[in-house]
């Protein structure tokens, strides 16, 4: 049996703090176990990627035997070169990087790692360009998507959904700026996501939404069946992010045949594929409003995007493919410099 030690932030299964990175970590751990790996999970406390409890991380690493393969969540790894780099010669460290930080600490950790796994080709290319990492050391394991029932949709297409924590990077201020210009059109918008990540920003967004007379709802985070119901009720996913390495909510929507309007940032184009949505410039409420107006006013456009979304649904990969890709990287790392499991 092959073995991997996985370092993750504490609380990745907390339903009050859902995120794409947490979901990815959990599904990969489950997928590796299904493939026959012995997965030894080590959860470390801290407000990662801000420096967390480095002493707890150091203790966890010291307990891992020489030659072992270690898969490190990038939120932890990128913040802790002083702990990780000294262990790089005795452990086969593989960094799973969800969102590059682009700083010196991250550069040191990635340079010392046996391999790096990214969630999109966009992130892979950015890391190679920024840090000069060898091509063979940086790998892509795109997120999977679970099969789901088709969302029925409504004739007018006015049920809008945004699934993202209410933070500046996710662009809810841009979304509200766009919606404020569309008072005469038939729409409602459900914003599903944490209100606690940046409370000052979230409070400001909610105050601003009051001017839209109840047409924007903030539900807080949802997972499981509650999140499934939110997607099932949606006509369109709107993702106005200022940055995304992939955009798992894009493929979650497409798995239900729900089209997408999103910012053209990072790996979103990669997640969307060809045809099932519209991409707009990030941080531009005018451009977002124009795309939303086109969706609401053009019956033919809505039908084309819905057909394309249902077609893209058939080509989405499952989480087993993601886990297999990560397993391949871990297996290669295990034999570097003669290391054995």
Q: What is the pLDDT of residue 308?
A: 98
Which of 324, 312, 250, 261 has its CA nearest to residue 289? 261
- Indicate whether 138 and 190 sit together in one domain: no
Percent of the chain exceeding pLDDT 70 equals 97
Q: What is the pLDDT of residue 157?
A: 98
Q: How is the chain split among helix, strand and coil, in percent rounded to 5?
A: 45, 15, 40
- Indicate whether 15 and 89 sit together in one domain: yes
- Indicate whether 205 and 136 sit together in one domain: no
Q: Residue 16 is inside which H or E element, if any?
A: none
- Indicate whether 91 and 206 sit together in one domain: no
The DSSP secondary structure of 18-69, one letter per residue, reads --HHHHHHHHHHHHHHHTT-EEEEEEE-SSTTS---HHHHHHHHHTSPTT-E
DSSP symbol at 255: T
- Indicate whether 278 and 328 sit together in one domain: no
- Indicate whether 295 and 326 sit together in one domain: no
**115 bridge partner residues:** 94
Cα(326)–Cα(28) distance, integer angstroms: 8
Domain containing residue 23: CATH number: 3.40.50.2000
**Residue 47: pLDDT over 90:** no
Cα(290)–Cα(40) distance, integer angstroms: 49
**Residue 110: pLDDT over 60:** yes
> pLDDT category, 335, cuts 50, 70, 90?
confident
56: in domain:
yes
CA angle 37, 40, 46 (to 5 degrees): 140
DSSP symbol at 214: T
**What's the domain count of the chain?**
2
- Indicate whether 80 and 132 sit together in one domain: yes
**Residue 44: pLDDT over 90:** yes
Which of 20, 98, 86 has its CA nearest to residue 57? 86
262-288 pLDDT tens trace: 999 999 999 999 999 999 999 999 999
282: in domain:
yes
Cα(272)–Cα(268) distance, integer angstroms: 6
Percent of the chain exceeding pLDDT 90 equals 90
Q: 289 lies in which domain range? A: 159-313
Q: What is the pLDDT of residue 339?
A: 42
**Residue 340: pLDDT over 60:** no
52-109 pLDDT tens trace: 679 999 999 999 999 999 999 999 999 999 999 999 999 999 999 999 988 889 999 9
* Average pLDDT value for residue range 131-135: 93
């Amino acid at each position: 049996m092959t073995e991997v030690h996985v370092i993750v932030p504490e609380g990745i299964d907390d339903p009050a703090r859902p995120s794409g990175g947490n979901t990815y970590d959990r599904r990969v751990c489950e997928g590796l176990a299904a493939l026959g790996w012995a997965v030894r999970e080590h959860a470390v406390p801290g407000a990662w990627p801000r420096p967390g409890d480095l002493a707890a991380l150091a203790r966890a690493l010291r307990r891992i035997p020489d030659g072992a393969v270690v898969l490190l969540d990038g939120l932890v790894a990128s913040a802790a070169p002083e702990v990780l780099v000294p262990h790089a010669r005795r452990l086969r460290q593989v960094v799973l990087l969800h969102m590059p930080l682009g700083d010196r600490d991250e550069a040191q950790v990635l340079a010392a790692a046996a391999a790096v796994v990214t969630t999109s080709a966009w992130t892979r290319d950015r890391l190679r360009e920024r840090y000069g990492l060898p091509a063979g050391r940086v790998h892509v394991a795109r997120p999977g998507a679970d099969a789901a029932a088709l969302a029925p949709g409504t004739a007018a297409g006015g049920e809008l959904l945004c699934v993202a924590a209410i933070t500046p990077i996710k662009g809810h201020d841009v979304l509200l700026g766009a919606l404020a210009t569309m008072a005469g059109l038939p729409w409602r918008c459900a914003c599903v996501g944490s209100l606690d990540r940046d409370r000052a920003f979230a409070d400001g967004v909610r105050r601003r939404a009051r001017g839209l007379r109840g047409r924007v709802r903030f539900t807080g985070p949802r997972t499981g069946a509650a999140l499934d119901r939110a997607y099932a009720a949606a006509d369109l996913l709107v993702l106005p992010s200022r940055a995304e390495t992939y955009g798992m909510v894009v493929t979650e929507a497409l798995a239900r045949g729900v089209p997408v309007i999103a910012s053209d940032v990072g790996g979103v184009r990669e997640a969307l594929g060809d045809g099932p949505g519209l991409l707009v410039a990030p941080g531009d409420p005018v451009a977002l409003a124009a795309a939303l107006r086109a969706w609401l006013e053009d019956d033919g456009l809505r039908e084309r995007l819905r057909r394309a979304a249902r077609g893209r649904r058939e080509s989405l990969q499952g989480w087993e493919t993601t886990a297999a890709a990560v397993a391949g990287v871990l297996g290669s790392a295990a034999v570097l410099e003669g290391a054995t499991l």
